[in-house]
Amino acid sequence: MTGDNRTPDRVDDVFVQLSHPRRRAIMLLVAAAGGRGVDLRTVSSVLYALEEGVRPTNAPTRAVTNLRTNIKRSHLPQLTASGLIEFNEERLAAGPAFGVALEVLLSAGYWLGTAQPQHKEDRQNTEDTG
């Protein structure tokens, strides 16, 4: 992090972190929490719902647990190392570089509906035509 503790050492870090749809969605869910932070289990349920086109309450426990493990192992280490997210006691909160990354994300027109791939049928149609 730079001396002012608000921007990452390298701008490339922000773009690398925001290049993955799950990390974009995690950032937006933390932003939606309005400074209160959000539980990793909630993030996992919402991401599953977005990816599969179901309601978070209809997300199977095993699938949500598997997604939670993936987020914890594959995405949180990079997000925390870049200062975008802080992760304590199973809660995610904005890190020191969160604001600058959120500005980039929002200026690119992302919101939760576009931060994730569409549900399965739409993904298949996109793959077939793309």
Instruction: Give the pTM.
Output: 0.77
In a domain, 73, yes or no: yes
**Number of domains present in the structure of the chain:** 1
Distance CA 130, CA 112 (A): 22
pLDDT digits (tens, 9 = 90+) for 27-56: 999 999 988 999 999 999 999 999 999 998
pLDDT digits (tens, 9 = 90+) for 94-129: 999 899 888 888 888 877 766 555 444 444 443 343
Domain boundaries, position 61? 11-129
In a domain, 3, yes or no: no
Q: What is the dihedral of CA 58, 39, 80, 78, to 10 degrees?
A: -10
Pairing relationship of beta strands 91-94 and 85-88 according to DSSP bridges: antiparallel
Distance CA 90, CA 85 (A): 12
CATH code, 22: 1.10.10
